[in-house]
Amino acid sequence: MTHFLHTDEDLRAGLAQLIAADPRLTPVAETAGTFELRRREAGFPGLCAIVCGQQLSTASAAAIRERLFAAFDPFHHDMVRRARTDKLKRLGLSAPKIKAIREIGKAVAEGRIDLTAIGNMDADVAHAALTALHGVGPWTADIYLLFCLGHADAFPSGDLAVQESARIAFGLKKRPDAKTLAKLAEAWRPWRGVAAHLLWAYYHVVKKRDVVPLEKGKPRKTAVRRTAKKKTKKRKKANG
């Protein structure tokens, strides 16, 4: 049976079930305190919004999404996939993301996937169907299932904040990778999505930072700035 998280009440009920199944999460929930359900738009627009945010800072992703959605009214898969490449590039989309959005739109148009009905599937089956789409990796699929469809068993094991939160919560020596965390999360079925929300809330408290779902491999601004500074210093030394 597939469970859904459509309201905060659904989230609280799922959390009670989750803690009953794994009492180790009791102190995690106590530290996290009260937290709310976060939802996003579903369907083609929702999945495209997540694709736009892949490997980008929050601000950059938001700017691109805003330009993309403003450029197409209505935001229909046929309009977007048939748009000129130069138009999509001017909106800030990279070539790989343009291809991904077009391929997703094509799959929807041809009826190869229903981005709303897929939420009724078992989490693993839905995950496999989404990752079969070009440009949709495991993290993107899980974030879509969890945030856009409210699938209670979707679990983004590749999310950095979830990984780091699990490391702190369970006293692990190092941050677990996606495979290790997925194995740990098996005990939380069919409420793994609730566990993800709990771990994000826990991360927010212990790290005192706002949490934005972030897949592994995102370039960090600080690293870029440091690299730029080093290059500048080298040029100055070379120029005397």
| CATH code (residue 106) | 1.10.340.30
Q: What are phi and psi of 144, to 5 degrees?
A: -65, -50
Task: Report the pLDDT averaged over residues 137-156.
Answer: 96
Task: Quote the tokens at residue 81.
Answer: 């996939």
**Residue 217: pLDDT band by 50, 70, 90 thresholds?**
low
Residue 31 lies in a domain: no
Domain around 114: 43-148
So what's the pLDDT on residue 220? 41
Entry pTM? 0.87
Taking alpha carbons only, the member of 208, 197, 199, 162 closest to residue 39 is 197
**Residue 234: pLDDT band by 50, 70, 90 thresholds?**
very low
Q: How many domains does the chain have?
A: 1
Residue 120 lies in a domain: yes
So what's the pLDDT on residue 211? 74
Residue 183 lies in a domain: no
Distance CA 120, CA 175 (A): 32
Distance CA 1, CA 121 (A): 9
Q: What is the mean pLDDT of the chain?
A: 90
**Residue 81: pLDDT band by 50, 70, 90 thresholds?**
very high
